[in-house]
Structure 1
């Protein structure tokens, strides 16, 4: 029963609350279905994909070593993001296939105009929370 309790905590760890619009990028066979279900349970609906034209509150970016250029992926991820929105880069834990060095995320974030604020342990995955700086001019 521990796994089910952990899964319920995933959405809370990620700061996701009811009625948020959550976009999922980088889904593949290896993504954590418990984490995805936890988020869908909290938001009361399905995750939206990259084709959505909604304003996004949270992006879950599943990212593995070899997936390409993380800066480009982050630039794409923040395009539909609300001013208060944030991105979670989810990567396999150390020792797992596809593991991404934390330094790669830390170096890519500022290039994409983001700041890393926290990290979360999410089962076989780790999450890095990236936010947009507050001091930028308001969108018109």
Structure 2
């Protein structure tokens, strides 16, 4: 089953001494997404256009252009908000993701218009 990734992937990270929470602040967004050199990445603009800076950083890390439409994908970055049919998007992209790949669903932050409670998406990981 292709993982639906709604939180940081498992990596060794520091724990904050006072809160017990993991501290990812020292890592770049591309590191947090688990994107590596050579990965085939698709940018899926379901709810909005994915940020140009993030796109640039991802492509710099992979060292290659975005995945072609006919190519298996390591990582799909999908923008989604409360109006997005996430289940349909997951079903569509699941067919293209390599077995060791994943799907990142990028949503607005809590309190922002279009916010999606990410724990509600986990059962839809298909």
Query: Which structure has the highest strand share of the two?
Result: 1
Q: Quick one: higher RCO (CA 8 Å, sep 6+), 1 or 2?
A: 2
In the superposition, the TM-score normalised over structure 1's length comes to 0.64
CA deviations on 1:100-130 (whole Å, 9 max, x unpaired) are 1123212322xx2xxxxxxxxxxxxxxxxxx
Between Structure 1 and Structure 2, how many residues are aligned?
A: 101
Q: Which runs of 5+ in 2 are unaligned?
A: 1-24
Counterparts in 2 of 1:11 and 1:96: CA distance versus 1, 3 Å: same
Match of 2:83 among 59, 66, 69: 66
Match of 2:118 among 92, 102, 119: 102
Alignment match, 1:20: 39
Secondary structure at 2:64's aligned position in 1? Answer: coil
Secondary structure at 2:42's aligned position in 1? Answer: strand
Counterparts in 2 of 1:94 and 1:12: CA distance versus 1, 3 Å: same
In 2, the alpha carbon distance for the partners of 1:84 and 1:11 equals 17
RMSD (CA atoms): 2.1
In 2, the alpha carbon distance for the partners of 1:82 and 1:66 equals 27
In the superposition, the TM-score normalised over structure 2's length comes to 0.70
CA deviations on 1:70-122 (whole Å, 9 max, x unpaired) are 1111010111111111111111111222211123212322xx2xxxxxxxxxx
Secondary structure at 1:77's aligned position in 2? Answer: helix
Query: Which structure has the highest helix share of the two?
Result: 1
Q: Judge conservation of contact 2:82–2:114 (CA < 8 Å) in 1.
A: yes
Q: Which runs of 5+ in 1 are unaligned?
A: 1-5, 113-140
